[in-house]
Amino acid sequence: MSRTRTALLAALALVAGASGTALAVAPGDAGIAAVPCTVDYKVQNQWDTGFTAAVTITNNTTAKSSWSLKWAYAGNQKVTSGWNAKISQSGTAVTAANESYNGTLATGGSVSFGFQGSYSGTNAVPATFTLDGVTCNVDGGGPTDPGPTDPGTPGTRVDNPYAGAKVYVNPEWSANAAAEPGGSRVSNQPTGVWLDRIAAINGTGGKMGLRAHLDEALKQKGSGELVVQLVIYDLPGRDCSALASNGELGPTEIDKYKTQYIDPIAAILADPKYASLRIVNTVELDSLPNLVTNVTPRATATANCDTMKANGNYTKGVGYALNKLGDAPNVYNYVDAGHHGWLGWDDNFSATVQTIKQAATAEGATLNDVQGFITNTANYSALKEQNFTINDSVNGKSVRESKWVDWNRYVDELSYAQAFRQEAVNQGFPAGVGMLIDTSRNGWGGSARPTGPGAMTDVDTYVNGGKLDRRIHVGNWCNQSGAGLGERPKASPAAGIDAYVWIKPPGESDGASSAVPNDEGKGFDRMCDPTYTGNPRNNNNMSGAMPNAPLSGHWFSAQFQELMKNAYPAL
């Protein structure tokens, strides 16, 4: 990071903008030692008389065994309850001190807490914070310091990048969608731009490269805010449990991943030309969860996943990507968190957060390089099962005992994503992290959509008769027959959720239904074969895949028509 941008961020940290966020300088950047501490104060939810806030402190001086943070409100805000800190208030002055379990604050270390408050009139973010008597978010300034009164500076990081912003419409996907009969109904929707191999950075096969997309985004932006959604997806030994999404890099090619893939992307994103864009990276889908569920001694273990667990290159690669891509203040990293039908079980859930945390603190990355997590990417799990809950029972048997739920803690993506976010905060991620849910193909509408609960004959009849997700098994993931477009992209749709997104462009195949020679590193996965009878990961059920599918990422007209036909909400 340049000295100029460090000073700029330090000054901007004082701004109490309309977004309800006091911005912190990212730790670990050059010149940070001049800022003794940073405080990230975010108003997460606000209503007529109250609000909740999340606060993250980062200590850049000598390690502490205890800490006390103070601020004063300009209005009549009152703290009514809090968590992860002992909070007291006298008049407008507030003091938050450590609990017995979180007093240690190492040099470069962070701690987070939250609280609920009441107010009337305005709810301005405090302008000044002191940690143990030292003012945070301020350095010595200098000739490049623009001062603390410029809330409109391009590139200022906000709590939720989707709030108040348009989202980039990929013209290449839009053209494919519009060319389909009826496709103009959705061709203006924003979708992710997949950088799934090195050649995609500059563009290959006549397709737009990263700079071309960002240039087009500037045209679409106009005078407002605009989010560009990128998929960072080229780890060594990528997606070790599948074949259709294998990548170009071998298991040991971590240096190539860093220097030929991440570094060029980071250089483009850091170009001041693009500082006014909000760039959201969804980081390395599927790979880290594989280190939890598909390694020895699990029954679903694969030799490839054991190799990636042993060599550590998934962890190193994700850490390096978070560190390098997170340098730019207008970039937001969301790490893949699988989906409820993969990681919702007790022995997967917490372990996945631990694994992501390990990667998020590797290769120079810190937890502050993670703005959130994304679930259900390129998957089909229903957003919200409306006809049963995890707490229901039939004839004394819990829904968890049904064959479909199979002792999972969650029955849909919304409940899973909200719980995953809370678990991440519990394990030390900043309290302001948000969630994205990919709703591009989880609508499950059409004539086969259940209109109410199943019969109360037994727990399986009850669940199967009412479940919206009509896959044969929750482990099926390739080109699913009967799937439909889900909720349209939307900002702040539910508590803790930054946005519903279409990261997987509808109509782009998950994988070929038979072997197809190619130079993209993509293999043939039997889960994309409609005649396949399954494996332990889908409990040896039929794959549920559509026939005649092309290579992953290639346009699949039949799938797009299927998704439109079964859209929910309907088109």
Domain layout of the chain by residue ranges: 3-135, 165-384+412-444+479-508
> Cα–Cα distance between 287 and 312 in angstroms, integer?
11
State the amino acid at position 94 in one-letter form.
V
Q: Residue 278: which residues within 8 A CB-CB, separation 6 or more?
A: 158, 161, 165, 225, 226, 227, 228, 330, 332
Residue 186 near residue 568, CB atoms below 8 Å: no
CATH 3.20.20.40 matches 165-384+412-444+479-508: yes
Q: How many residues does the chain have?
A: 571
Residue 453 near residue 467, CB atoms below 8 Å: no
> Cα–Cα distance between 342 and 353 in angstroms, integer?
13
| The model's pTM | 0.75
Q: 121 - beta bridge partners?
A: none
Retrieve residue 59's tokens.
């200590």
Output the CA torsion sign for 418, 422, 427, 428.
positive
State the amino acid at position 552 in one-letter form.
S
> Cα–Cα distance between 45 and 32 in angstroms, integer?
30
Active-site annotation holder among 159, 234, 239, 286: 286
Closest CA to 136 of 36, 16, 270: 36
Looking at residue 28, what is its pLDDT?
Answer: 35
Count of Cβ atoms closer than 10 Å to residue 421 Cβ: 24
Looking at residue 327, what is its pLDDT?
Answer: 86
> Cα–Cα distance between 45 and 53 in angstroms, integer?
7
Q: CATH for 3-135, among 2.40.160.20, 3.30.70.120, 2.60.40.290, 1.10.10.10?
A: 2.60.40.290
Residue 284 near residue 257, CB atoms below 8 Å: no
Looking at residue 139, what is its pLDDT?
Answer: 53
Closest CA to 160 of 376, 436, 437, 429: 436
DSSP letter for 455, please. Answer: P
Let me know if 40 is a catalytic residue. Answer: no
**Could you give the angle at the alpha carbon of 114 between the alpha carbons of 439 and 372, nearest 5°?**
30
> Cα–Cα distance between 407 and 498 in angstroms, integer?
28
Let me know if 29 is a catalytic residue. Answer: no
> Cα–Cα distance between 296 and 240 in angstroms, integer?
13
**Residue 46 phi, psi dihedral angles, 5° rounding:** -145, 135
pLDDT in tens, the chain (571 residues): 333 333 333 333 333 333 344 433 333 333 334 578 999 998 888 888 888 989 999 998 888 999 999 989 888 999 999 999 999 988 888 999 999 989 999 988 899 999 999 998 888 888 888 998 888 887 533 323 333 323 334 556 899 999 999 999 999 999 999 999 999 999 999 999 999 999 999 998 899 999 999 999 999 999 999 999 999 999 999 989 888 778 899 999 999 999 999 999 999 999 999 999 999 999 999 999 999 999 999 988 999 999 999 999 999 999 999 999 988 899 999 999 999 999 999 999 999 999 999 999 999 999 999 999 999 999 999 999 999 999 999 999 999 999 999 999 999 999 999 999 999 999 999 999 999 999 999 999 999 999 999 999 999 999 999 999 999 999 999 999 999 999 999 999 999 999 999 999 999 999 999 999 988 878 899 999 999 999 988 999 999 999 999 999 999 999 999 999 999 999 9
Active-site annotation holder among 40, 510, 525, 529: 510
Q: How far is CA 69 from CA 38, 76, 86, 138, in A?
A: 11, 19, 10, 15
Looking at residue 120, what is its pLDDT?
Answer: 87
State the amino acid at position 378 in one-letter form.
A
> Cα–Cα distance between 466 and 499 in angstroms, integer?
27
Output the CA torsion sign for 43, 497, 421, 375.
negative
> Cα–Cα distance between 432 and 114 in angstroms, integer?
9
